[in-house]
């Protein structure tokens, strides 16, 4: 694996999930694979889970890890080409990425969308430039439009909690929030679930209020509804997430119906397990009675971030060692 940016970088969905679950059973089975290899994690935005789980995964593979909080500790980064840097930016991504590629064998980068210009965000310009200038394999730690380590984790978590013969009904349900959030997590979850649906692993439904449709590029084959109660009927997993409007890009539309998942709404499901990528705003996005209740998987889900990252890094190291 040379990059991990989207579901398209994985050619065997079932295979990578089983690989991650084997690593969970035997975390140090490949502790020499990453010996004398360095992982660099570059953050342009905050992170708890991605930062710690990816470090832990790398350490368990024997790698050394360096973390750069570019937003706080780095020079102000210029990403545009063809501009004289006579303003606030100090260093161009061309040099910054190339230099980090000299120090590291694998790099990860987190860069959220600005939510101002849809075309700019959805072009993934910063991520693509980082890949082309650093010259080493790159793992997305959440880009403008996707969060593949989270989505792989989510598929692993569903697989782990589903032992029945029939396919589980997985519902991604929009939840309220106080501010405009990216579409990266829901785009990515949908992209992974649509592929899983095509491979006969799940049935996938998305529920959101009017005005919150995602880009159709991320939802091929998904069942879509604007009624939360309809979606929840018979659900085996409910994946709660807020996102801002894609159509009216980055905006929040007032929603009159109650969209926060609480125990009353959860009762409509097939005793569904409840998932969320975290961080979550309690009693805004998701009721604390659900988060603290027996159906919540959020902590196991966060725990599984380690195995998703370890499976991805293992594949990258195997590719590097072939050279
Ligand atoms: N990495 C997981 C989610 C990150 C981000 N959430 C946030 O920015 C939450 C911010 C807040 O609640 O103020 C998102 O939704 O894409
Ligand atoms: N779920 C997730 O990516 O969490 P962090 O933003 O804390 O890394």
Residues 6+ apart with CB under 8 A from 9: 1, 3, 148
Q: Is the CB of 49 under 6 A from ligand 2?
A: yes
Q: For 49-54, what is the mean pLDDT?
A: 98
> Considering just the CA atoms, what is the radius of gyration of the chain in Å?
20
223-225 sheet: strands from edge to edge: 223-225, 203-207, 169-174, 237-241, 273-275
64: left (phi over 0), alpha (psi -120 to 50) or beta: beta
Quick one: pLDDT at residue 295? 98
CA 177/CA 112 separation, integer angstroms:
17
12: CB partners within 8 A, 6+ apart: none
What is the pLDDT confidence band of residue 169, given thresholds at 50, 70 and 90?
very high
Largest CA distance in the chain: 62
Mutate to test the pocket of ligand 2, among 42, 44, 45, 48 (most ligand atoms within 8 A of CB): 48
- Closest atom of ligand 2 to 48 CA is 7
Can you read off the two tokens belonging to residue 285?
């996005």
Strand partners, 170: 204, 237
**Nearest atom within ligand 1 for CA of residue 285:** 12
Return d(Cα 259, Cα 286) in angstroms, integer: 9
* Cβ–ligand 2 contact at 143 (below 6 Å): no
189-234 residue pLDDT tens:
999 999 999 999 999 999 999 999 999 999 999 999 999 999 999 9
Dihedrals phi, psi of 142, to nearest 5 degrees: 110, 115
Asked if pLDDT for residue 323 goes beyond 90, the answer is: no
Q: Which residues fall in the annotated binding site for N(2)-succinyl-L-ornithine? A: 142, 177, 241, 281
Q: What is the pLDDT of residues 230-245, one digit of tens each?
A: 999 999 999 999 999 9
Q: What is the mean pLDDT of residues 36-62?
A: 98
The upper half-sphere exposure of residue 193, i.e. CA atoms within 13 Å in the direction of its Cβ, equals 29
Both tokens of residue 317?
């190291």
Instruction: Provide the 8-state DSSP code for 90.
Output: -
- Residue pair 225/207 in contact by the 8 Å Cβ criterion: yes
Task: Give 74-115 pLDDT, tens digit per residue.
Answer: 999 999 999 999 999 999 999 999 999 999 999 999 999 999
Indicate whether this model's pTM tops 0.90.
yes
Task: Tell me the domains of the chain and their CATH numbers.
Answer: 3-146+304-322 (3.40.50.1370), 162-296 (3.40.50.1370)
Q: Tokens for 18, please give them.
A: 């089983």
| pLDDT confidence of residue 200 | 97
ipTM of the assembly? 0.99
pLDDT of 130 reads 98
Take atom 3 of ligand 2 and give the residue whose Cα is closest: 50
């Amino acid at each position: 694996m040379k990059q991990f940016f989207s579901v398209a970088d994985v050619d065997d969905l079932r295979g990578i999930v089983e690989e991650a679950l084997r690593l969970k059973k035997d975390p140090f089975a490949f502790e020499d694979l990453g010996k004398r290899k360095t992982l660099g994690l570059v953050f342009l935005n905050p992170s708890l889970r991605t930062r710690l789980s990816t470090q832990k995964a790398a350490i368990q593979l024997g790698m050394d890890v360096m973390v750069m909080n570019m937003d706080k500790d780095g020079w102000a980064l210029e990403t545009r080409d063809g501009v004289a840097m006579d303003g606030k930016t100090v260093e161009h991504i061309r040099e910054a990425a190339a230099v980090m590629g000299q120090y590291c064998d694998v790099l990860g980068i987190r860069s959220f969308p600005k939510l101002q210009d849809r075309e700019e965000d959805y072009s993934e310009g910063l991520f693509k430039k980082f890949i082309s200038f650093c010259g080493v394999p790159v793992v997305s730690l959440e880009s403008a439009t996707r969060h593949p380590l989270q989505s792989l984790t989510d598929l692993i978590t569903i697989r782990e909690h589903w032992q029945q013969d029939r396919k589980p009904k997985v519902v991604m349900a929009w939840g309220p929030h106080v501010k405009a959030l990216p579409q990266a997590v829901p785009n990515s979850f949908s992209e992974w679930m649509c592929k899983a649906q095509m491979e006969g692993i799940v049935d996938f439904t998305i529920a959101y209020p009017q005005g919150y449709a995602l880009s159709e590029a991320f939802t091929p084959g998904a069942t879509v509804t604007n009624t939360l109660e309809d979606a929840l009927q018979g659900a085996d997993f409910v994946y709660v997430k807020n996102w801002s409007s894609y159509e009216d890009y980055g905006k929040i539309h007032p929603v009159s119906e109650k969209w926060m998942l609480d125990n009353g709404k959860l009762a409509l499901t097939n005793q569904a397990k409840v998932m969320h990528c975290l961080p979550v705003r309690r009693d805004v996005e998701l009721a604390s009675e659900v988060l603290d209740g027996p159906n919540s998987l959020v902590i196991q889900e966060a725990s599984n971030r380690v195995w998703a990252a370890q499976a991805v890094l293992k594949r990258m190291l195997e590719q590097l060692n072939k050279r």
